[in-house]
Amino acid sequence: MSTLSHILVATDLSTAARHAAERAALVSKALDASLDLLYVANPAPFERLRQIIAPDDDLLERVLDSAREKAHELAELLYQRYEVAAGAHVMPGSVVSEITRQVQDQRTSLLVCGAKGQSLARHLLLGSTVQRMLSRMLCPLLVVKQAPRCEYRSLLVPVDFSPVSLRSIEVARAIAPQAQITLLHVFEAPFEGSMRFANVDHDTLNHYRTVIKKDAVEKLAALSEAAGLPAARQVVVHGDPSWRIVEQEQELDCDLIVMGKQGESALEELLVGSITKHVLSESQCDVLVSL
């Protein structure tokens, strides 16, 4: 099983980002991993403001000074509350580029960000930085949505039997070794739409689904055994994976979903897949996206 030795929190020092830092501190303490906080200020808007309203004022430096103070306050809060010593780093630059550089330089095992935004249509919309980081991931990314109350206790790991499935299970076991893990496979019966169009009778369709489900159940049991989790709860359901994953998260009262970033086809392998994006937007609990 892989170990998580270094955790980096990319923060904008907002309330949502503080929740992410607190979750990172909990994980850091449980796994004895080192922890760093990183705030990056894009200098471009501050330079434009300086040119327009304050030519003699270095607005960027004032922002960086304020951020340093807040970052150290956050680090102090984490130490007082969780007894975890976190490094605090503040710098100017391109936000995504600097985060990526820090992940590489520090050989980060887990990057943690807070989810941002509210919508009438969705529970949570991801901040732009999180979306861009997902498309250029170098390590697993934990997107924190909830204020942490305790260590993760119930994990949902959607699997599709690809090599990514084993890696997702490995990351899930690494981040929460004591948590209950549920392995979920959502199947869609191939050609079912065509069979309906051809007016195939209901009993035949049900038999067709039953055969496919039986095969999926056997594969899930084999995957669980191969992953060293023969006693893990295993769930196989039929339907749209995007919605079934979210439904199972709520039905099973999970506090973390661990899934790969791949899409529904090889054409999406360099981007974040549509199912992953949907789960990130619609789920209520935290989501860890593995490589």
CA dist 124 and 246 (Å) reads 13
Integer angstrom CA distances of residue 74 from 15, 25, 127, 169, 213: 11, 11, 21, 32, 49
φ/ψ (deg, to 5) at 174: -70, -40
Q: What is the model's pTM?
A: 0.87
Q: Is the pLDDT of residue 6 over 90?
A: yes
DSSP 268: G
**78-134 pLDDT, tens digit each:** 999 999 999 999 999 988 899 999 999 999 999 999 987 433 333 334 566 777 788
Domains, the chain, ranges and CATH?
1-145 (3.40.50.620), 150-291 (3.40.50.620)
The token pair at 130 is: 């999180």
CA dist 268 and 271 (Å) reads 5
Q: Long-range CB contacts (< 8 A, 24+ apart) of 66-69? A: 67/13, 67/39, 67/41
Helical axes 274-282 vs 241-251, angle rounded to 10°: 30
pLDDT confidence of residue 70? 96
Closest CA to 160 of 151, 170, 169: 169
**215-226 pLDDT, tens digit each:** 999 999 999 999
Residue with tokens 């924190």: 144
